[in-house]
Structure 1
Amino acid sequence: MIWLSAIITLLGFLFGIAAIVASSDETILGLGTEAKETLDTLSLFALLPLIPIAFYIYRFYLAAQAKSNALRVGPAQFPELFALYQDIGRRLELKTLPKLYLTNGNGVVNAFALECNRRQRYVVIHAEIAMLMPTAPEIVEFVLAHELAHHKLRHVSLWRLAIGVVPQSLVLPGLATTRAQEYSADRVALAVCPNYADTVRLLAVGPWMQHDVNPQAWLEQCEEENKELFVRISNLLSDHAVMVKRFKALKDIEMHGFERHGSMF
């Protein structure tokens, strides 16, 4: 998906340049007003390189917003969480560890990776996940491993953003790219946290009822529902795989190995 994104974006840029050249001499081409307007519209593709620059600047704002409303985790602030985070970083063989921040999710269960440049990289985790450290540390571990995997795989780097401009604007290719990246991050997380597939129950029912989930019954539900037509359509229109497909993909890896892959449709 990454190389496809790069090719689509490059073709879009070249097509835009060609449109500008073609529209610069309407007389020679003998084009009418309507065709000229079409070429003018297509020439906007030549502006594609400016979009990553705008997003690059915007990322610093997003990082500042996230940091200024969160607590930085370290040896003196949530030391147990920080020790777990460092251990995962070592397992992933990360040369430098992104800074970890803990924030109030106001009931929302989420975590995300963010990068401004190679020196300014972050992971933000909601307190609704970190609160499980005393009772279900494996859930916190898998979530952190998933977010660090995004950094490991360079999913949040600027060049990924640049080559994904056109696919993202076309919606379905953009959603497919993001979905594939989420599957990849899950796979890397599972590689360093074996047998932790059940931890994604957190995303299905939240931290308040995760301890009551029956993983086997859930897997049976996934087997039954994951191929339904409208489940497939829902998955196709999602930037993350729907839970019946995501959990099944992780359990397939646990049971059959990493040659198994998650369903994109």
Structure 2
Amino acid sequence: MADEIATALDIKEKPEMFIVNSQGLTNALAVKFLSRKYTLLFSDLVDLLWEEKKQDQLRFVIAHELAHHAAGHVNFWINLLMKPAMFIPFLGSAYSRACELTCDRIAAEIINNKSASINALITLASGSRELVTATNNDSFVQQELSVPTVFGFLQEITSSHPRMTKRVIAINAISLVIKNRL
């Protein structure tokens, strides 16, 4: 899966991929240490997505992490150039959120399965196989409307990642743009 996705992203030097015992955590990371690139998948997330019918969801997560490598988000020199911006309040976290949304969009385009992309994000949000199957995607998105304005704003400007509801909304929006182009 990772090799196929790395090829689709035109990644010449494919990052090494590891499954990490996460003791209940569901996450994945793109990392560069010295000159080596790595993609880490937490074991409990892989377990949640490993079922045969969920292969595209796992592909979405892998594509998202590899997109960080392809887009240069873990590049030492790019991060060094961005370092001064990190000292400007809220600018660093805004850049990080933009990176996450970019990688979501790239991953959704690579796997070309909107439903699997959204379900992968909901799985990350819930961390539960039972809750994912019982979650109504439209209701999940509607939760964004109930976030208190001030709290939502403060939480967002200090967070490195957009709320999952916003990430799902962004996947829905990009799907509409692509559909309208056709």
TM-score (structure 1 length as normaliser): 0.61
Partner of 1:189: 107
Partner of 1:237: 158
Aligned-partner SS, 1:102: strand
Q: 1:161 aligns with which of 79, 84, 90?
A: 79
Does 2:2 align with 1:85? yes
Partner of 2:97: 179
Aligned-partner SS, 1:252: helix
Contact 2:25–2:45, Cα closer than 8 Å, also in 1: no
Q: 1:95 aligns with which of 2, 9, 12?
A: 12
Kindly state the Cα deviation for residue 96 of structure 1 after the two structures are TM-superposed.
2.2
> Residues 9-56 of structure 1: CA distance to partner in whole angstroms, max 9, x if unpaired?
xxxxxxxxxxxxxxxxxxxxxxxxxxxxxxxxxxxxxxxxxxxxxxxx
Partner of 1:124: 40
**Correspondence list, 1:12-23, <5 A:** none
Mark the runs of 5 or more structure 2 residues left unpaired by the alignment.
none
Give the distance between the partners of 1:94 and 1:117, measured in 2 at CA: 18
> Residues 56-101 of structure 1: CA distance to partner in whole angstroms, max 9, x if unpaired?
xxxxxxxxxxxxxxxxxxxxxxxxxxxx111111221222211000
> How many residues are matched?
174
Kindly state the Cα deviation for residue 228 of structure 1 after the two structures are TM-superposed.
2.8
> 1:127 is matched by which residue type in structure 2?
S
The percentage of aligned residue pairs carrying the same residue is 25
Give the distance between the partners of 1:157 and 1:244, measured in 2 at CA: 28
Contact 2:45–2:124, Cα closer than 8 Å, also in 1: no
Contact 2:119–2:132, Cα closer than 8 Å, also in 1: no
Partner of 2:59: 141
Contact 1:102–1:126, Cα closer than 8 Å, also in 2: yes
> Residues 144-198 of structure 1: CA distance to partner in whole angstroms, max 9, x if unpaired?
0000000000100101221122222334111111111111111111110221233
Bigger radius of gyration among the two: 1
> 1:90 is matched by which residue type in structure 2?
T
Mark the runs of 5 or more structure 1 residues left unpaired by the alignment.
1-83, 260-265
Specify which structure has the bigger relative contact order, considering alpha-carbon pairs within 8 angstroms and separated by 6 or more residues. Answer: 2
Give the distance between the partners of 2:6 and 2:160, measured in 1 at CA: 26
Aligned-partner SS, 1:114: strand
Partner of 1:250: 171
Contact 2:29–2:39, Cα closer than 8 Å, also in 1: yes
CA RMSD of aligned residues (A): 2.1
Give the distance between the partners of 1:205 and 1:91, measured in 2 at CA: 29
Give the distance between the partners of 2:177 and 2:146, measured in 1 at CA: 20
Aligned-partner SS, 1:257: helix
Give the distance between the partners of 2:8 and 2:72, measured in 1 at CA: 17
> 1:113 is matched by which residue type in structure 2?
A
Contact 1:117–1:157, Cα closer than 8 Å, also in 2: no
Q: Which runs of 4 or more aligned residues in structure 1 lie more than 4 Å from their structure 2 counterparts after TM superposition? A: none
TM-score (structure 2 length as normaliser): 0.86
Kindly state the Cα deviation for residue 117 of structure 1 after the two structures are TM-superposed.
4.7
